[in-house]
């Protein structure tokens, strides 16, 4: 069975995310290691590192990913933004290495109107610049996107381009977001549509490179190119779409985390995880 979990807050300390994922019955976790809206957050303290690792050890090596800052745009043509983005990614890789977090999830960024080809070339160059810093114990996961505006990564072949043209392909995996691919036009709702979508993933990217999933229903219809997350089964993808995915043996035991709206009591995370587990056959 896939390892269902959620993105949880680190308010009160990074280690607190493990308490929160425990409280909702999760088996995988995504966090922000630092405020995702700051360019130069404070370095990790030794106390933070120690407390996080102690909590992680108690959770039997639960799969954990950090989501990179939303400010990062390695596809930009603006030199100052690119330099800040490279520095921010390097710092994220460093933090994850110190914490023992094996994955950093990153959006491919925006080409800013210069076209997909130019944007992808800049992204790969900037990404490789950051990956030169080392931290071989951390894998960068490129996230599929919905295709809003001038954003990259809504087509599977764009994700494939990034891996194929990087000097560090062995350090690059993929995070598939269900809302994003659905909004980008990849249907999941019927068995036939689902198999077509997974077939395209396999032929372009390769299923072996998929390391993480974000499970989000979509407020908008297939192909809308609008990124609006909804609770599982309450959006346009619907329960049948998620049933197809969670019963796919090719993704058994992969971490699948929610990024759906929730309140402080996390009741929505509990409900969504229960819904997902209820879709498992046999």
Asked about 122 being catalytic, the answer comes back as: no
Asked about 187 being catalytic, the answer comes back as: no
Asked about 111 being catalytic, the answer comes back as: no
Among residues 27, 92, 217, 227, the one annotated as catalytic is 227
Give the relative orientation of helices 16-23 and 46-57 as an angle to the nearest 10 degrees.
30
Cα(188)–Cα(223) distance, rounded to whole angstroms?
12
Among residues 87, 230, 240, 259, the one annotated as catalytic is 259
Among residues 34, 95, 107, 231, the one annotated as catalytic is 107
Among residues 7, 34, 67, 95, the one annotated as catalytic is 67
Among residues 48, 92, 143, 269, the one annotated as catalytic is 143
Q: Of all helices (H) and strands (E), which one includes residue 92? A: helix 79-99
Among residues 47, 54, 57, 70, the one annotated as catalytic is 70
| 14 within 8 A of 65, measured Cβ to Cβ | no
Asked about 227 being catalytic, the answer comes back as: yes
Cα(272)–Cα(262) distance, rounded to whole angstroms?
10
Asked about 214 being catalytic, the answer comes back as: yes
**What are the percentages of helix, strand and coil residues in the chain, rounded to 5?**
40, 15, 45
Among residues 95, 122, 189, 229, the one annotated as catalytic is 229
108 in the Ramachandran plot: left (φ > 0), alpha (ψ -120 to 50) or beta?
alpha
Instruction: For residue 159, give every residue at least 6 positions away whose Cβ sits within 8 Å of its Cβ, in sequence order, or none.
Output: 108, 142, 144, 153, 174, 204, 205
Asked about 107 being catalytic, the answer comes back as: yes
Among residues 92, 177, 217, 269, the one annotated as catalytic is 177
CA angle 77, 79, 85 (to 5 degrees): 90
Asked about 259 being catalytic, the answer comes back as: yes
Known catalytic residues?
A: 37, 67, 70, 107, 143, 177, 180, 214, 227, 229, 259
């Amino acid at each position: 069975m896939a390892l269902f979990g959620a993105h949880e807050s680190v308010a009160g300390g990074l280690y607190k995310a493990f308490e929160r994922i425990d409280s909702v019955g999760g088996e995988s976790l995504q966090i922000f290691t630092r405020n995702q809206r700051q360019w130069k957050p404070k370095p990790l303290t030794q106390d933070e590192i120690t407390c996080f690792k102690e909590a992680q050890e108690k959770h039997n090596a639960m799969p954990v990913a950090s989501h990179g800052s939303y400010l990062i745009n390695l596809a930009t043509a603006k030199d100052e933004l690119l330099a800040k983005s490279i520095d921010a990614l390097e710092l994220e890789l460093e933090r994850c290495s110190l914490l023992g977090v094996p994955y950093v999830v990153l959006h491919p960024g925006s080409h800013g109107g210069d076209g997909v080809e130019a944007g992808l070339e800049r992204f790969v160059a900037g990404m490789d610049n950051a990956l030169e810093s080392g931290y071989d114990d951390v894998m960068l996961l490129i996230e599929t996107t919905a295709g809003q505006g001038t954003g990259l990564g809504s087509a599977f072949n764009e994700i494939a381009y990034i891996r194929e043209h990087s000097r560090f392909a062995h350090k690059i995996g993929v995070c598939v977001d269900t809302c994003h691919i659905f909004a980008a036009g990849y249907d999941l709702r019927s068995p036939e549509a689902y198999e077509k979508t997974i077939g395209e993933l396999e032929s372009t990217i390769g299923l072996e490179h998929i390391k993480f999933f974000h499970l989000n229903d979509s407020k908008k219809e297939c192909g809308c190119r609008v990124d609006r997350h909804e609770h599982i089964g309450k959006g346009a993808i619907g329960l049948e779409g998620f049933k197809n995915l969670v019963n796919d043996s090719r993704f058994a035991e992969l971490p699948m985390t929610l990024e759906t709206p929730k309140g402080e009591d996390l009741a929505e995370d509990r409900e969504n995880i229960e819904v997902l587990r209820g879709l498992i056959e046999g």
